[in-house]
C-alpha cells in the first residue's frame, strides 16, 4: 500500500521563497516515492491545493490565530513607544491597583502585561474552537505516515510571539506522536527567538521529533544547549534541492550594455508599518533612500536594471523606490518596464536566470539567486544571510542593512561586478555540494518509508 506524506510549513502567504522549499520537497519525494500520497499542511490550504494539486489542511485555527498577536511598536531610537492610558475596565482599588498602574508606566513591563491579558482573554474565548481544531487535526494525522516540517525559518517569534510559530509547532508535534505519525524536522532555520517561553515551546516540540536537522550551524546553536542536546544535524536550505526550469521557459533577457551586466534588485519591507513586525518609519525611509541612491548610480552608469519580488508585500517597497527615482528625475520609466513579476516558483527562477548580478535583501532572494549560480550582493537584515554568503565564499559582498552606507554599497557592487565570473564559479561549486548533501538527507529520511 502506498504511503501518505504530509508536508508542513508556514507557507501559503504568497512568499515564493517558502513555496520554493515546498516545491523542492514535493519534487524529491516523488522522485524517491513515486506512489506516495502527498498532503499539504499550510496557512492557506486553498492556495496549496491549487498550486500543487494535492489535498491541503490548515495548520492553525484561524479564528484563534486572528485574535492572538504579538506586536510591540518601537520608536526610531529603539525605545518603547508612548503607551496608551489604561482602560477603566481593568482599574481596581487599593495597593494592587496602584502597583499595577506603576508597572504600566514601565514600558517593557507594560508590553508584557498587555500581551498576557490579550493572550489569556483570547485563549478563554477561543478554547472550544481550538479544541475542535485539534480534534480534526488529530483525525487527519491518523491517516498520515510521515509528517515533514519543511525547512524555512519556522523557529521564530518576532511574528506572533510564543503563540505564533512555537505554539503551532508544539501542538502538531504532540498530535503527531498521539497519532503514531513519524515526525521529521527537515533543515529548519531558527531566530529571532527572543522569548524564553518561545525557546521552551520549540525545544518541547523537538522532543517529539524522530529526525531533526537545521539549515545552518547558528540555528542549531540557538536551539540546542547542554540541557537540550538534541544532536540534530546541519544540512543546507531545502530550496537548493529544487530543479531549475528548462531554459526554454525563460523570459526574454534584457540586453547587456557594452560590458555592463544585467542587475536584478530585490527589496523587502523591513520596518515597514504595512507589514513588518517592528514598525519604524524613519528606518524604513532610510533604507528606501539608500536603495534609491544605489539604483540612481546604476542608471547613471548605464547598467540594465530590473526589480523582482519574492513576496507580495515586496511590491510596495519596489513602488516606493520607483516613486523616489521618478521624483529625483533619475528615470520616468513605469513599473511595467522595470519590474519582473512572478506568481509561481518556476516564473521566479526564470526571471533570476535573466540576471547576471543580484542585489538582494530577502534571504530567499539570496538563496534562489545562488541556486541559479548568480553572484549576489546581500543587504543583510539578520545573520542568516551573512552566514550564507560567507559559506559560499561571498562574505566580502555582505553588508548590514542597519549600518548600510551608500558609498560602501556602490564600491562593494563595483568589486563584485569586476569579479563576477570568478564569484559565479565559486557559487556553482558550492551549490553542487549543497545539492549532494540534500540528496543524502532525503535518502536517509525517506528510505524508512
Sign of CA dihedral 381, 387, 389, 395: positive
6 and 147 Cβ atoms separated by less than 8 Å: yes
Q: Which CATH number fits domain 4-68+129-242+435-446: 3.30.470.10, 3.40.190.10, 1.20.58.1880, 3.40.50.2000?
A: 3.40.50.2000
Interval 63-75: pLDDT, tens: 544 333 333 333 3
- Cα separation of 128 and 445, whole Å? 36
pLDDT category of residue 202 using cuts at 50, 70 and 90? very high
Q: How many CB atoms lie within 10 A of CB 101?
A: 12
Q: Above 80 in pLDDT, residue 398?
A: yes
Greater confidence, 271 or 97? 271
Which region, left, alpha or beta, applies to residue 160 given φ > 0 means left and ψ of -120 to 50 means alpha? left
Q: Which three cell numbers stand for residue 188?
A: 529548519
Q: Which three cell numbers stand for residue 183?
A: 515526525
Same fold, 4-68+129-242+435-446 and 247-418: yes
- The pLDDT > 70 percentage for the chain reads 84
Q: How many CB atoms lie within 10 A of CB 351?
A: 20
367 and 237 Cβ atoms separated by less than 8 Å: yes
Interval 281-305: pLDDT, tens: 999 999 999 999 999 999 999 999 9
Q: Please give the backbone phi and psi of residue 42, each rounded to the nearest 5 degrees, phi first.
A: -145, 180
Third-level CATH fold of 247-418: Rossmann fold (3.40.50)
Task: Tell me the domain boundaries of the chain.
Answer: 4-68+129-242+435-446, 247-418
Interval 411-446: pLDDT, tens: 999 999 999 999 999 999 999 999 999 999 999 999
Q: Above 60 in pLDDT, residue 267?
A: yes
Residues paired with 260 in a beta bridge: 257
Amino acid at each position: 500500500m502506498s504511503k501518505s506524506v504530509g508536508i508542513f510549513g508556514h507557507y501559503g502567504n504568497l512568499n515564493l521563497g517558502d513555496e520554493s522549499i515546498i516545491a523542492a520537497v514535493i519534487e524529491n519525494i516523488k522522485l524517491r516515492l513515486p506512489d506516495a500520497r502527498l498532503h499539504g499542511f499550510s496557512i492557506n490550504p486553498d492556495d496549496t491545493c491549487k498550486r500543487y494539486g494535492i489535498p491541503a489542511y490548515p495548520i492553525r485555527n484561524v479564528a484563534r490565530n486572528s485574535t492572538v498577536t504579538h506586536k510591540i511598536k518601537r520608536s526610531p531610537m529603539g525605545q518603547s513607544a508612548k503607551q496608551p492610558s489604561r482602560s477603566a475596565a481593568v482599574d481596581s482599588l487599593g495597593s494592587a491597583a496602584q502597583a499595577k498602574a506603576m508597572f504600566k508606566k514601565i514600558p517593557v513591563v507594560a508590553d508584557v502585561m498587555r500581551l498576557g491579558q490579550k493572550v489569556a482573554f483570547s485563549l478563554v474565548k477561543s478554547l472550544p474552537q481550538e479544541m475542535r481544531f485539534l480534534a480534526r487535526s488529530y483525525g487527519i494525522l491518523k491517516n498520515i505516515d510521515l509528517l515533514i516540517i519543511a525547512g524555512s525559518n519556522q523557529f521564530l517569534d518576532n511574528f506572533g510571539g510564543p503563540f505564533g510559530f512555537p505554539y503551532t509547532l508544539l501542538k502538531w508535534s504532540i498530535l503527531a506522536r498521539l497519532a503514531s505519525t513519524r515526525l521529521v524536522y527537515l533543515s529548519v532555520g531558527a531566530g529571532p527567538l527572543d522569548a524564553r517561553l518561545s525557546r521552551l515551546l520549540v525545544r518541547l516540540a523537538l522532543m517529539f521529533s524522530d529526525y531533526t536537522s537545521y539549515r545552518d550551524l547558528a540555528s542549531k546553536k540557538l536551539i540546542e544547549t547542554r540541557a537540550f542536546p538534541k544532536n540534530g544535524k546541519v544540512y543546507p536550505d531545502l530550496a537548493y534541492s529544487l530543479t531549475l526550469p528548462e531554459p526554454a521557459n525563460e523570459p526574454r533577457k534584457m540586453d547587456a550594455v557594452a560590458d555592463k551586466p544585467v542587475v536584478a534588485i530585490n527589496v523587502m519591507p523591513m520596518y515597514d508599518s504595512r507589514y513588518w513586525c517592528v514598525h519604524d518609519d524613519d528606518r524604513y525611509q532610510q533604507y528606501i533612500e539608500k536603495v534609491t541612491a544605489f539604483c540612481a548610480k546604476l542608471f547613471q552608469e548605464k547598467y540594465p536594471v530590473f526589480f523582482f519580488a519574492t513576496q507580495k508585500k515586496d511590491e510596495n517597497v519596489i513602488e516606493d523606490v520607483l516613486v523616489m527615482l521618478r521624483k529625483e528625475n533619475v528615470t520616468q520609466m513605469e513599473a511595467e518596464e522595470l519590474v519582473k513579476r512572478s506568481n509561481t516558483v518556476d516564473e521566479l527562477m526564470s526571471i533570476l536566470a535573466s540576471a547576471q548580478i543580484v542585489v538582494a535583501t530577502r534571504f530567499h532572494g539570496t538563496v534562489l539567486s545562488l541556486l541559479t549560480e548568480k553572484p549576489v550582493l546581500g543587504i543583510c537584515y539578520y545573520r542568516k544571510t551573512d552566514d550564507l554568503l560567507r559559506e559560499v565564499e561571498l562574505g566580502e559582498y555582505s553588508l548590514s542593512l542597519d549600518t548600510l552606507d551608500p558609498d560602501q554599497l556602490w564600491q562593494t557592487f563595483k568589486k563584485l561586478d569586476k569579479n563576477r565570473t570568478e564569484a559565479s564559479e565559486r557559487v556553482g561549486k558550492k551549490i553542487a555540494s549543497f545539492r549532494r548533501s540534500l540528496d543524502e538527507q532525503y535518502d536517509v529520511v525517506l528510505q524508512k518509508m
